[in-house]
Amino acid sequence: MPEETGISDNAAGALAYVTIIPAIVFLVVAPYNTNSYIKFHAWQSIFLGIAAFAIGIINVIPILGQIVFLLGMLALFVAWIIVILKASKGERYKLPVIGNLAEKQAGV
């Protein structure tokens, strides 16, 4: 009889996007770190967080940086909502650039 992990792959994939902490936990904890679907979403979440941090740094530039920050954060928020919904439906949705990096790291 297969071992129950307590959470479905779809729920774990979507939960990886909540913050960076569940994403790291899913990459470390045994039943989840062997699943390529969950690893992909965990890595994509981490790279999405890095992109948000980079856009946050741009905010220190007066006026133009703040405009770029607002537009960038809006785009990341929309992308974040999309990937959560896609992950909860069981789809492996790749964001541009970030998705390719996540696939490479997850070994897909």
pLDDT for 4 equals 61
pLDDT for 80 equals 96
The amino acid sitting at 38 is: I
Q: How many CB atoms lie within 10 A of CB 65?
A: 15
pLDDT for 85 equals 96
Q: How many CB atoms lie within 10 A of CB 16?
A: 29
103 phi and psi angles, rounded to 5 deg: -60, -40
CA distance 25 to 29: 6
Q: Which two tokens stand for residue 58?
A: 């741009």
Q: What is the pLDDT of residues 41-80, one digit of tens each?
A: 999 999 999 999 999 999 999 999 999 999 999 999 999 9
The amino acid sitting at 62 is: P
pLDDT for 1 equals 45
Per-residue pLDDT at 2 exceeds 80: no
